[in-house]
Structure 1
Amino acid sequence: MAEVLSQGEIDALLSALSSGELEPEQLAKQEEHKVKKYDFRSPQKFSKDHIRTLELVHDNYSRIISSYLSAHLRTNVKVKIMSVQQITYEEFIHSIPNPTILTTFKMSPLSGSILFEANPEFVFKVLDILLGGSGIKDFKMKEFTDIDKNIIRNVNKGLISNLKLAWEDILDVTEPEIENLETNPALNQTLAPNEPVALITFSVDIVNSNSFINICIPYLSIEKILDKLVVQYWFKESDDTFAEDSREKIKDRLNIVDVEVKALLGKCSLTVEDFLRLNSGDIITLEKRINEPIEVLVGEQSHYYGKAGTIGKNKGIQILDIRDKDVENYG
């Protein structure tokens, strides 16, 4: 924010300008232009709206997997989203430990592969609880056995499948399909080192101990659906759906309303004296010819042209044309 000058400073500045002591060009040169550095090796492709929407989606996901893990492990588990940030794939790979559990999966219409990383401390606690332990003891870093991998693969399969439920409000995604499980991050070469990714980090509280899981979404995976990651578009879709539902409900209610339809065969003018002399069997001459179309009224408004006739033993009107073509807009 620019510095606010006092009245005395403003007066002194105006005096210097009027006396010639200070030129306007010199005053302009004193203003410093702030330049923001941009690293072309790490392009910022995700906008603030994209990051905000990803945060909303995965905040909902954290609540879903909290319930899933609590039921699966039969102990209280709390999962909270910690951060959503844009980094390069190389930075992500260097930030996670070795060994770790790195699961690669696909989820259409998101293209390419998405990465799900489970921190070793999280994995060892889950394994200990599922194998009958309490999950309280400390764990030493070691290589994962084939049994460990098979057990955690099933756990991760359940965690990853819940992404479909978290994304359903903004995008209809298919059931995630696991492609590979790797313990050495350096061996995963699915993306170029400088490829921008969105890193979503969760903290997991199991038996009074914190651990972490990460979801790494490459920019290439969501490039085609970026327009749906704008919050305004998200709520606009909800509003449109709500408006369409309301419109259909109103139409259904209107369809059961009874309206009066009558045919105007013709008109004539009578004096009061002629009217008083009318008796049963008298004939009144109308303005219309017998072969001319008659007006059909809905309520008190004339909408159609028709032709009088009989339908079996009943009298009826055949609609010939619409008097006001704009009436079709209300159909």
Structure 2
Amino acid sequence: MPEDEALTQEEIDSILKSMSSGEPAEKVLEEFEEENKRVKEYDFRRPMKFSREQLRTLQLIHESFAREISTYLSGRCRTFVDVKYASIDQITFSEFQKSLNSPTYIAIFSSEAFAGSGILQMGLDLGYTIIDRLLGGSGTPLEESRVPTEIEMNILKKESAVMLRMLARSWSNIEEFDINLENLETNPQFVQVAPSNEMTILITLSITIRNVQGFINLCFPSSTLEPLNDKLTTRMWTTTYRHTEEFRENLKQTLMLSKLNLSAILGKAVISLSDFFNLEIGDVIRLDSFYDEPIDLEIENHPIFKVKIGKSKGFYAGEIIQKNKELLEKLLVEESMREYSKRNKDHLNKEKETTVGDEKNA
């Protein structure tokens, strides 16, 4: 203990008590200081509304959301876009408002599963970079921030609408719902989705496009997430994150319709490049197999079957005599997952085209 630090009355009483019981005073003082370290301050004006488990579930949801945005923006901007989950905090709504610069891009959204509205906020440096890439530019942000034009706001509105659909998909492990884009703002002071002293959940995603780095913020007032509080547990996440029967059936149908390359390898040989260029009609190449031996029947360049060569109804044919079941199952599952991912991507592209068509009609 420093010489200029005086003992409190409580510390003096503890030392005197230890002396009467025969316990060393130094040990009692150490225990007292250790107990003080475990005491944490609690501000009743800023109560924590969410437990650690609920925060962990929210983190899992938005880590999935970050991965989806990264894939989507990489395709839209024709360059690699890195989006990562950065942090989650509990702050008041007024603190969130004060942390934002003006102008900025703010999308206010709602859902039937929420008890109020949420906010998706993105810095305009990122916004202008995305717009520049979408319009064929190099993705250079503006030197001075300004309020977006009507055309620029419509472009950002379309992109944020797609992001919000991805957000709904990320939440589907907890609750399935649709998200509606309600309004757009550029001045944080004009946004009032909750009382200034209400606690909110602020999720921050770090996003990097080429040499431009910024953040996307998602703000949920505590009252907005109140209907889902009971479901914000890792237990609910793990139990709901299972393949449904519909998913299994779709995967099976995709697997049955998969097209694979099939090739029979009669034999192999190694020759020099000079011999290869000097080959002529009538030349004979010795293979590494005999005519009466089984040959490999390959699927996507994987030797799955052993077959005997023969003829059937006037055509050359192969009779399967041996099968590698484990390798075949692995190959078919990999191919089906590729087909399934391709279909999901095609479906997402159709959604984008539908959104563009709706905006043009509007």
> TM exceeds 0.5?
yes
Instruction: Flag structure 2 segments of 5+ consecutive residues without an equivalent.
Output: 1-15, 249-362
How much has 1:29 moved relative to structure 2?
12
Deviation per CA, 1:136-161: give whole Å up to 9, x if none.
35531112211111111111111111
Alignment of 1:108-257 (within 5 A): 108-136=112-140, 138-173=142-177, 175-237=178-240
Specify the SS of the correspondent of 1:31. Answer: helix
The AA in structure 2 aligned to 1:205 is T
Cα distance in 2 for partners of 1:136, 1:98 equals 20
Q: Decide whether the 8 Å contact of 2:114 with 2:225 is kept in 1.
A: yes
Instruction: Please say which structure displays the higher CA radius of gyration.
Output: 1
Asked if the contact 1:124/1:139 (under 8 Å) is kept, the reply is no
**1:24-68 deviation line (CA, Å, top 9, x unaligned):** xx9599835534221122111111111111000000000001111
- Distance, in Å, in 2 between the alignment partners of 1:113 and 1:64 is 22
Amino acid at match of 1:197: T
Contact 2:126 2:214 in 1 (8 A): yes
Paired amino acid for 1:110: F
The CA deviation at 1:132 is: 2.2
Change over 3 Å in CA distance of 1:213–1:240 after alignment to 2: closer
Amino acid of the structure 2 residue aligned with 1:63: R
- Residues 1:64 and 1:240: Cα distance change in structure 2 (over 3 Å): closer
Q: Give the alignment's Cα RMSD to 1 decimal.
A: 2.9
Q: Aligned partners of 1:18 and 1:89: how far apart in 2?
A: 53
Amino acid at match of 1:140: E
Q: Deviations over 1:116-170 (max 9, x none)?
A: 0011111110111122210135531112211111111111111111112111112
Shift in Å, 1:94: 0.8
Q: 2:109 touches 2:179 (CA, 8 Å); kept in 1? A: yes
User: 1:92 maps to which residue?
Assistant: 96
* SS of residue paired to 2:79: coil
Aligned mates of 2:116, 2:28 — CA distance in 1: 55
**Higher alpha-carbon deviation: 233-242 or 221-230:** 233-242
Q: Separation in 1 of the partners of 2:133 and 2:242? A: 45
CA 90–136 in structure 1, closer or farther in 2 if over 3 Å, else same: same
Alignment of 1:60-75 (within 5 A): 60-75=64-79
User: Number of paired residues?
Assistant: 226
Alignment TM-score, normalising by the size of structure 1: 0.62
Partner amino acid, structure 2, of 1:230:
T
Aligned-pair distance for 1:234?
2.5
CA contact (8 A) 2:118 2:221 kept: yes
- 1:47 aligns with 51
Letter in 2 for 1:31: F
Change (3 A) 1:188 1:18: closer
The answer to whether the Cα contact below 8 Å between 2:128 and 2:142 also exists between their aligned partners in 1 is no
Q: Tell me, yes or no, if the aligned pair for 2:206 and 2:216 is still in contact at 8 Å.
A: yes
Could you say what secondary structure the match of 1:41 adopts?
coil
Q: 1:189 to 1:30 in 2, by over 3 A?
A: same
- Do the aligned partners of 1:199 and 1:214 also contact (CA within 8 Å) in 2? yes
Find the aligned partners of 1:29 and 1:62 in 2 and give their Cα distance. Answer: 46
**Partner secondary structure for residue 224 of structure 2:** helix
**5+ long unaligned stretches in structure 1:** 1-12, 246-331
Residue 135 of structure 1: SS of its match in structure 2?
A: coil
SS in 1 for 2:91: strand
Distance, in Å, in 2 between the alignment partners of 1:47 and 1:193 is 22
AA at the equivalent of 1:176: I
Equivalent AA in structure 2 for residue 126 of structure 1: I
Aligned residues with identical type, % of pairs: 37
1:106 is matched with which residue?
Answer: 110
1:268-311 CA-partner distances (Å, limit 9, x unpaired) = xxxxxxxxxxxxxxxxxxxxxxxxxxxxxxxxxxxxxxxxxxxx
Report if aligned partners of 1:227, 1:233 keep a CA contact under 8 Å in 2: no
CA distance in 1, matches of 2:121, 2:242: 36
For the structure 1 residues 22 and 74, does the alpha-carbon distance in structure 2 shift closer, same or farther, using more than 3 Å as the test? Answer: closer
**Residues 125 and 141 of structure 2 are in contact (CA less than 8 Å); yes or no, is this contact kept in structure 1?**
no
